[in-house]
Amino acid sequence: LVDCSRKLGEVGRAVSRVAALKAPAARLYGDALLSLARSPANMESALKLLDEASKAWPEEAEIPYRAGLILLMNGEASLARPMLERSCKLEATAECAVTLAHALLDLGHTEAALAQIQAADQFQPGPRELKRGRALVRRIQRRTREVPPGARVRFQRAMSLLRDEDKASECLRMMEEVILEYPNFPGGHTLVGLAQLRLSNPAESVVALRRA
């Protein structure tokens, strides 16, 4: 109801329905969704309400699942993972398993993500879960396509250095070693080009990207 009201631009329609919920934990959960529906900037307050709701209703799997999903959509996979693991433990569903798989992939745990997707099969996934499962497989294929097996760990680490830690120099040093071993690895040359660009070396960046 809250989600439909948000899409219609009529969040106020759901307020009285949430306020009428008898269980305190349910009201907290509803208030969390209302807070987020009013503005994405209310994410922190929504998560606090979900935490309170989860403490009041510890056996309900939906609450930690919703918190995990919100965190994952905000790019906080490390915080989302324990929430999703807790939800899956409380109630094993295809929806939770697939969402946890995406969180694991975001954290670089490709094998664990694949295992999680395989586990989802036993929970009779519906069309939406199957679609999200296929999306995860495509993400894995994009990450691993044409990456030499001997370079995968270093390549992923170099990507993290550049993207997450803003350490272009360290990324460049690591990738230059990889390129020496695998001179025909396009992704390696691309990452070198991006690192050079971050270091304000446009000429070197162009050379690397042309090689890629």
SS (H, E, C) 11-75: CHHHHHHHHCCCCHHHHHHHHHHHHHHHCHHHHHHHHHHHHHHHHHCCCCCHHHHHHHHHHHHCC
For residue 59, what pLDDT is reported? 95
Among 117, 113, 171, 177, residue whose Cα is nearest residue 144 = 113
Residues of the chain above pLDDT 90, percent: 47
pLDDT at 152 over 80: yes
Average pLDDT (184-201) is 89
Sequence-ordered list of residues with C-beta below 8 angstroms from that of 128, at least 6 positions apart, any chain:
95
Query: With contact defined as beta carbons under 8 Å apart, do 156 and 142 qualify?
Result: no
pLDDT in tens, 49-63: 999 999 999 999 999
Per-residue pLDDT at 143 exceeds 70: no
pLDDT at 7 (0 to 100): 86
pLDDT band at 141; cut points 50, 70, 90: low
